[in-house]
Chains A and B, each alone.
Chain A
Amino acid sequence: MMPKPHGGKLVDRHIKRKPSEVADLPKFEINTNLAEDIENIAKGVFSPLEGFLCKNDLENVIKEKRLENGTPWTIPILLDFDKKEIKDLKEGDQILLTNTETGVHSILDIDEIYTFDKKTLAQSVYGTQDTNHPGVANVNNMKQFLLGGKITLLESKTREFDEYNLTPKETRFLFKEKGWKEIVAFQTRNPPHIGHEYVQKTALTFVDGIFINPIIGKKKKGDFTDNVILAAYETLMKYYYLKERAVMSILRTSMKYAGPREAIHHAIMRKNFGCTHFIIGRDHAGIGNYYGPYNAHMIFQEFPDLGITPVFFKSFFRCTKCDAVVNEKICPHEEKYHINFSGKKIRELLMNGEIPPENMMRKEVSETILKFDKPFVE
């Protein structure tokens, strides 16, 4: 059965109004990440959040990995300002939050203005205070005051890839129309190689459908561009998936690299999209060596009430002795027979304009990628 949205109710705080109707409000231009948070709150991706966290919720998320009312929540969604910007604001005020890139126009009802401790926040969410960690660096760059309160999205503009951008309300309807009762979600930031395909298809074998949900947004130099990732998946789905068993839609949100905590956050978002299962691989949402390879598996033990079932996978590899794609749970052979699906190696070959071996990446997928003049972020 399709899970209820997280917290019980799908949040919908998107009320179409002309920004001119609220032109009198103090206006603040925010960055694109915050604007995307607002869209995700308004459209129910972050249900049950109706706005940016107030102090009690933040403290509870930090200490207990739950909102004040006990609902699991692991990544704080915060709106920061500096003292100068908010000197004329007080609790109870309304302000307009805008962003040029996304066209977001939204109202914030300020419930609370408060400060926070950056070290505590970084340590709890990222498990480190090392400023080389991009999440910790972001926390250190945050301004000192936080504004908590409900948001109302008035308007946002049509953007690239919107034809792939479904809201939780839409995916829930779509899954119902397709007759899917059990849906597994797969998150990705890369074009699919054979190892990804095996993970997805192994999970799909036990449920009704797969929801492929690439994260779209800011990437680092050398990463595949968003349009390459989407085109690569379109190709894979066209040639190697049953149309009635797979759906792809994007998710616009920034990666936090918070490892285990972010794995829970990712699962919650997919629950809101209507998924019953969520695939967690090795070092999910990790970076460098900050988290153990399977910490993102273990954290789920703390959340028996999460409402979405994690599906844990160890990496797939090709075993020359088995002559098959396998994983360490099913292959009895020594490591010398194993060939890993190296994303790095595949990328190097593609960078040189070469087609990777077909036992690493589907030929059709490689050809799709190589049709792009610039498949990598420069």
Chain B
Amino acid sequence: MTEEKDDKKYTTISIPTPLAEKIKKRIQGTGFNSLSSYVTYVLREVISGTEEEPEEAFSKEDEEKIKNRLRALGYLD
């Protein structure tokens, strides 16, 4: 993965050469124009699947305020 030279935005990661060759073959004729773009895509997919966390709870004060407004507007009974 030596295609990206911009030190600020990219870093170099080593992967086994046979794997890189396999990926190059795999992306032929697809929308991926480089090994890096494919690996970035795969990693983003993996990372997005592990970042799911429960939504933070509302504070009591927030909750009351929002509930009252939603009731006043008819969104809640």
Contacts and interface: CB of A to CB of B under 8 A. Distances in A.
Interface of A: 1-2, 4, 60, 68, 70, 163-164, 166, 169-170, 172-174, 177, 247, 301-302, 304-307
B67 to A, nearest CB: 7
B70 A68 contact: no
A68 B52 CA distance: 22
B55 A247 contact: no
A302 B53 CA distance: 23
Contacts of A164: 73
Nearest to A170: B66
Given A70-B44, A173-B67, A304-B41, 10 more contacts: A2-B55, A68-B9, A169-B66, A173-B70, A174-B70, A247-B75, A304-B44, A305-B44, A305-B47, A307-B48
B76 A177 contact: yes
Interface of B: 9, 31, 41, 44-45, 47-48, 51-55, 58, 62-63, 66-67, 69-70, 73, 75-76
A301 B44 CA distance: 12
A1 B53 CA distance: 9
Contacts of B41: 302, 304
Given A301-B31, A305-B45, A174 B76 contact: yes
Contact of B69 (A60, A68, A170): A170
B21 to A, nearest CB: 23
A280 to B, nearest CB: 18
A305 B43 CA distance: 9
Residue from A166, A174, A305 whose CB has the most chain B CB atoms within 10 Å: A305
Residue from B31, B41, B66, B76 whose CB has the most chain A CB atoms within 10 Å: B66
A304 B9 CA distance: 20
Contacts of B54: 1
B52 A1 contact: yes
A209 to B, nearest CB: 12
A169 B41 CA distance: 31
A304 B48 contact: yes
Contacts of A301: 31
B75 A174 contact: yes
A86 B63 CA distance: 42
20 contacts: A4-B51, A4-B52, A4-B53, A60-B9, A70-B44, A164-B73, A169-B62, A169-B66, A170-B69, A173-B58, A173-B70, A174-B76, A177-B76, A302-B31, A304-B44, A304-B45, A305-B45, A305-B47, A306-B48, A307-B48
